[in-house]
Amino acid sequence: MTDVRDSVQADAGAAGAAPPADTASPRTATVASFDRHAPATRDAPPRMGSRDPRYLALRNFAISISVFNILGYTVLGFEQPWTWPLFAVAVGYAIEIIVEVTTAWAHRRRPAFLGNGAWGVYTFLLPAHITALAANMLLYANDQFWPIAFAVVVAIGQKALFQAPIRGRMRHFMNPSNLGITVTLLVFSWVNIAPPYHFTENVPDVMQILVPLIIITAGTVLNGVLTKKIPLIVGWVGGFVIQAVLRHFIWDVQLWAALVPISGVAFVLFTNYMITDPGTTPMKGRAQFIFGASVAAVYGVLMVFNVVYTLFFAVTLVCLGRGLIWWGIWLRDRLRERGTAEEPAAAAAPLVGASARPA
């Protein structure tokens, strides 16, 4: 669900961490700092401190989803086998390490999980832990585990493939868990989303109300204090309501039917733990709001065309569009930089020719 390890450092600085060393403007850094052929470093990666907001967000997300899975299998009514979360996490850890070792070898650098002892391995694997549990929790593949493993492999492996030069660094731009789930749903037509009722299947009616309230409270605190994603949530929820009203008046959809997903546990989980992934969403408040509203707009369009699994497809399309925009910015600035460098050479050419003529 959430991977803040590659989130923009400026957000961490705003939350109390050390500011980024590169203070160049985002567009300038996109051209000047991005260099695939830059000298590789073999130094140990910087240690993520125990008070680092990125670590705190990762840890709290990991604890939240772990506790929710434990309660899901013991109290709430999760229908997948209880061993599958363990298998999914094992697959996630293995793929994360394999991808990192391969990437480090290709770029001639030290793997990110080495150099800081057990603490470095622990913090490195937190995103894989979250992604694996999310994919297993949100997919239903009958009695077959291998589609779940496939989703985990896609979710983690794509981070090394789908990258864009964002603010001077190559970063993955596709939401890991969301893309893994989306690809699995497209490849295996018989795999489905976990039925929403299983989040509160075995609890009394009062608890069915308390469960989403507890998730909303925990998610709001986490996104408000650590990940700073409240503008994104406001844009997403506000946009969701607007698209429901528009579909009601334009396409005669029952308003209550268009709005009822907001009341479900699945929507609350998606809002607080899926769409707010810090590693694949903007950092600035206005950009966050636009991102959330864009997901709602795409959701509304897909609903008009009766597309199923709409929440996941909407996030996938918006993340893809954001990545393409960053590549477009990089290409535009690179062309401008090249044109600026060619202008002095073109102006100097006639002068050189004139000086070469005999008197």
Query: Mind spelling out the 3-state secondary structure of the chain?
Result: CCCCCCCCHHHHHHCCCCCCCCCCCHHHHHHHCCCCCCCCCCCCCCCCCCCCHHHHHHHHHHHHHHHHHHHHHHHHCCCCCCCHHHHHHHHHHHHHHHHHHHHHHHCCCCCCCCCCHHHHHHHHHHHHHHHHHHHHHHEECCCCCHHHHHHHHHHHHHHHCCEEEECCEEEECCCHHHHHHHHHHHHCCCCEECCHHHHCCCCCHHHHHHHHHHHHHHHHHHHHHHHCCHHHHHHHHHHHHHHHHHHHHHHCCCHHHHHHHHHCHHHHHHHHHHCCCHHHCCCCHHHHHHHHHHHHHHHHHHHHCCCCCHHHHHHHHHHHHHHHHHHHHHHHHHHHHHHHHHHHHHHHHHHHHHHHCCC
Q: Is the pLDDT of residue 1 over 80?
A: no
Average pLDDT over residues 226-252: 96
Nearest to 1 by CA among 66, 50, 56: 66
Domain presence at residue 129: yes
Find tokens 């429901």 and name the residue: 244
pTM reported for the whole predicted model: 0.83
Please work out, in degrees rounded to the nearest 5, the angle formed at the alpha carbon of residue 64 by the alpha carbons of 187 and 290. Answer: 65
Please tell me the least confidently modeled range out of 8-12, 61-65, 224-228, 261-265: 8-12
CA distances from 264 to 71, 192, 199, 259 (A): 17, 17, 9, 10
Asked whether the predicted pLDDT for residue 25 surpasses 50, the reply is: no
Q: What is the pLDDT of residues 274-318, one digit of tens each?
A: 999 999 999 999 999 999 999 999 999 999 999 999 999 999 999
Checking if the pLDDT of 196 tops 90, the result is: no
> Which pLDDT belongs to residue 27?
40
More confident residue, 123 or 264: 123
Model pLDDT, residue 39: 41
Indicate whether 172 belongs to any domain: yes
If one compares 349 and 174, the residue with the highest pLDDT of the two is 174
CA atoms within 13 A on the CB side of 140: 13
355: in domain: no
- Which of the two residues, 41 and 114, has the higher pLDDT score? 114
Q: What is the pLDDT of residue 219?
A: 87
Inform me whether the pLDDT recorded for 15 exceeds 70.
Answer: no
Of 266, 263, 240, whose CA–CA distance to 139 is shortest? 266
Q: What percent of the chain has pLDDT over 90?
A: 65
Rg for the chain (alpha carbons), in Å?
A: 23
Please state, in angstroms and rounded to a whole number, the distance separating the CA atoms of residues 318 and 173.
10
Whether residue 284 lies inside any domain: the answer is: yes
- Residue 218, classified by CB atoms within 10 Å of its CB into exposed (0-12), middle (13-18) or buried (19+), is middle
**Spatial contact of 87 and 149, defined as CB atoms under 8 Å apart:** yes
> What local confidence, expressed as pLDDT, does residue 51 receive?
84
User: What residues contact residue 339 under an 8 Å CB cut-off, 6+ apart?
Assistant: none
Mean pLDDT of 112-116: 90
The token pair at 32 is: 């000047």
Axis-axis angle for helices 310-356, 176-187 (nearest 10): 110
Task: Determine the pLDDT at residue 5.
Answer: 56
The answer to whether the beta carbons of residues 311 and 270 sit under 8 Å apart is yes
Range in 226-240, 257-271, 281-295, 319-333 with the lowest mean pLDDT: 257-271
| Domain count within the chain | 1
Q: What is the mean pLDDT of the chain?
A: 85
Q: What is the pLDDT of residue 355?
A: 55
pLDDT for the residue 7 = 52
pLDDT at residue 52, rounded to an integer:
87
Query: Is 315 a domain residue?
Result: yes
Residue 349 located in a structural domain: no
pLDDT band at 213 (very low <50, low <70, confident <90, very high): confident
Q: How far is CA 178 from CA 77, 273, 315, in A?
A: 23, 11, 7
Q: Are 276 and 3 in contact (CB under 8 A)?
A: no
Mean pLDDT computed over 218-247? 94
The reported pLDDT for the residue numbered 210 is 86
Structure tokens at 45: 């990666």
> What's the domain range around 306?
9-17+27-334
pLDDT digits (tens, 9 = 90+) for 69-94: 999 999 998 988 999 999 999 999 99
Q: How far apart are CA 99 and CA 158, in angstroms?
A: 10
Tell whether 4 is covered by a domain: no
Q: Is residue 34 part of a domain?
A: yes
Q: At residue 203, does pLDDT exceed 80?
A: yes
**pLDDT value of position 350:** 61
